[in-house]
Amino acid sequence: MAKAKAKKNEGGITETIKTIVWALLIAGVFRTLFFQPFWIPSGSMKDTLLVGDFLFVNKMAYGYSRYSCPFSSPTFSPCPIEGRLFSSEPERGDVVVFRHPTQNVDFIKRLIGLPGDRIQMINGVLNINGEPVQLQDRPPFEEVKEPQGPQGLTPRCANDPVGFGGICLKGRQTETLPGNTPGEPGRSHDILNISDNWIVDNTPVFTVPEGQYFFMGDNRDDSEDSRFPQSAGGLGFVPKEYLVGRADRVVFSSAGRSLFYFWTWRADRFFKAVD
């Protein structure tokens, strides 16, 4: 009787282990091939994405590379892929998650420059292929000046000095990128401005190499992006193989230090499309 009970217990443990292993395998395949979860840790993409937004990255959008697998690095990857499989070209204006070429962490920015594009900032205005983008003034972006997200980051304000609990303002405009056909407008999104004299409000011309891309944050004065060269510790150009996927929709959002602080949830951002 005791032996039968012991065998039954062993069989139950074995089935439990099998279930866990299969669940982990299915989750790993799903995360590798289809969607990757991503939390927004900083304010570099405001007001498109806020600190504490949670989204799933569409990994099918651009195909697969060595960085499509979890735990991948420049020296090791569970996905032994050279270049990209089932590759599809990203479009100017996409919000993209990619692996930082030198820091080996995932970043999220907006794709501004395609291969062959000439990118330059002149007096804070983005110029693409010698032409300034279209801009339309919008009401200022407002937020409370207080620690945000798990890292407790404090936002920078155009109206500083602002005390904790005060209203933090940033200038806001709608920026329209050029379309695929010369002379036609492309996609539009909001950008924020904090200072008129930031260090990359005026830049040289960046010519995007073949097979690489130029990224910028929508919160233009609070973003480490391709305007800063890798030689100076910045992002620089991003090779195509480093793309992870496209951000299409915010699934959940919390303004607090933890997602369990339900009183800080932003219900108006649940399932919000990423423009």
Of the candidates 163, 220, 223, 215, the one whose C-alpha atom is nearest the C-alpha of residue 41 is 223
* DSSP bridge pairs for 206: 119
The topology (CATH level 3) of 35-269 is Umud Fragment, subunit A (2.10.109)
Average pLDDT of span 198-210: 97
Name the pLDDT band for 204 (thresholds 50, 70, 90): very high
Structure token pair of residue 36: 């990757």
Most confident residue range from 1-10, 28-37, 139-148: 139-148
The confidence score (pLDDT) of residue 183 equals 67
Name the pLDDT band for 52 (thresholds 50, 70, 90): very high
118 vs 9, more confident:
118
Average pLDDT of span 5-19: 53
The confidence score (pLDDT) of residue 26 equals 43
Neighbours of 140 (CB within 10 A): 15
Active site residues: 44, 109
pLDDT in tens, 146-184: 999 888 889 999 999 999 999 999 999 999 999 876 667
Distance CA 41, CA 228 (A): 20
The confidence score (pLDDT) of residue 176 equals 97
Find out whether 138 and 190 touch, Cβ atoms under 8 Å: yes
Distance CA 161, CA 241 (A): 42
Tell me how far apart the 2 most distant CA atoms of the chain are, in Å.
85
pLDDT in tens, 205-232: 999 999 999 999 999 999 999 999 999 8
Distance CA 57, CA 35 (A): 5
Asked if pLDDT for residue 196 goes beyond 70, the answer is yes
Name the pLDDT band for 75 (thresholds 50, 70, 90): confident
The mean predicted confidence, pLDDT, of the chain is 87
Task: Give the chain's end-to-end CA distance (angstroms, integer).
Answer: 65
The confidence score (pLDDT) of residue 17 equals 56
The confidence score (pLDDT) of residue 257 equals 80
Distance CA 17, CA 65 (A): 31
Distance of CA 160 to the CA centre of its chain: 27
Give the side-chain half-sphere CA count within 13 A for 74.
8
The confidence score (pLDDT) of residue 113 equals 97
Of the candidates 54, 27, 50, the one whose C-alpha atom is nearest the C-alpha of residue 38 is 54
- Give kind and range of the element (H or E) at residue 29: helix 2-33
The confidence score (pLDDT) of residue 31 equals 47
The confidence score (pLDDT) of residue 11 equals 55
Residue 51: phi and psi, rounded to 5, are -55, 125
Name the pLDDT band for 82 (thresholds 50, 70, 90): confident
The structural domains of the chain, with segments of one domain joined by +, span 35-269
82 vs 60, more confident:
60
Distance CA 36, CA 131 (A): 36
pLDDT in tens, 16-45: 555 454 444 444 444 444 678 899 999 999
